[in-house]
Amino acid sequence: MNCTLYLRFLGGPLISAIFCLYTAGCHNSCTSFTFNGTNGTGNVSVSNPPPSCSFTTANGTVQLEIGAPPGAHSLPGAEQPHFTHLFVTLAGVDVHPSALAEDDSAGWHSLATELQEHPRQVDLLADANNTNSSAQFSDAVLPAGFYGQVRLLFAGSSESRKILDTNACGERALHCAVTSEGRFLPMTFATASFTFRVPSGSLDDRRFYVPPDGTVILTIALDRDRSFLVPLGHSFTFAPKFRMSVLQRAALSEE
């Protein structure tokens, strides 16, 4: 009985290795291993006949948080007054391995699948780390690897407002700003698109890594220094900018 060794390397230089197999027989089987580093990833399959099985993709978990950095409780507009709440209705949050992917590119992964059927409001000025004031999302299970782009999808006016459990903006709008005097003002956006990209340039290698069988916390925060509100009649135009940070669950447990 013959055994065939199938060896595939993905990325990185090929390091010489000697594999010695001592066996009385072979069965249909798959074996895989991963090099985590510059040596790339390798998959090994030992089978007779050639394998009918497929390699299992390792997954990791992403915990999503959206809000503002700690201590950021207001946002100045182009004119007074200041704003203490910015309620936006989210219809999706996705990630893509490529920083250059377009909206219609294949390979987007959802970080909050529940938003596709049930958009939810989040206060962009609420502390993202405060579970009492930040929207809670289910953990997302993604293929392990690097991701270079995040996008936020805001609900459009054509979507039914009845899908919201609660609407802090009342019946008039899906998105609104709350002034320091307590006034609720409808909010539109400076661009026609309701999709906003979150750059990963602040990260060490401009991508974030989801480890196999590991957990990362991805925090998307409003960039108060680059965002602004402009009065438009009885509403405001909002031009939001975001930034992200990533923490490994293991790093948190060590603190």
User: How many other β-carbons are positioned within 10 Å of the β-carbon of residue 45?
Assistant: 19
Alpha carbons 98 and 106: distance in angstroms, whole number: 10
Token pair belonging to 142: 């993604």
158: phi then psi, degrees, rounded to nearest 5: -75, -15
Q: What is the pLDDT of residue 230?
A: 84
Alpha carbons 151 and 176: distance in angstroms, whole number: 20
DSSP secondary-structure letter at 10?
E
pLDDT at 64 over 50: yes
- Reported pTM: 0.71
Boundaries of every domain in the chain: 4-47, 59-254
- For residues 203-239, b (16+ Cβ closer than 10 Å) or e, as one string? eeeebbbbbeebbbbbbbbbbbeeebbeeeeebbbbe
Give the chain's mean pLDDT.
74
Alpha carbons 220 and 239: distance in angstroms, whole number: 16
- Summarize pLDDT for 92-150 with one digit per residue, the tens: 999 999 988 999 999 999 999 999 888 889 999 887 766 444 457 899 999 999 999 99
- Summarize pLDDT for 178-215 with one digit per residue, the tens: 888 888 989 999 888 899 998 777 676 678 899 999 99
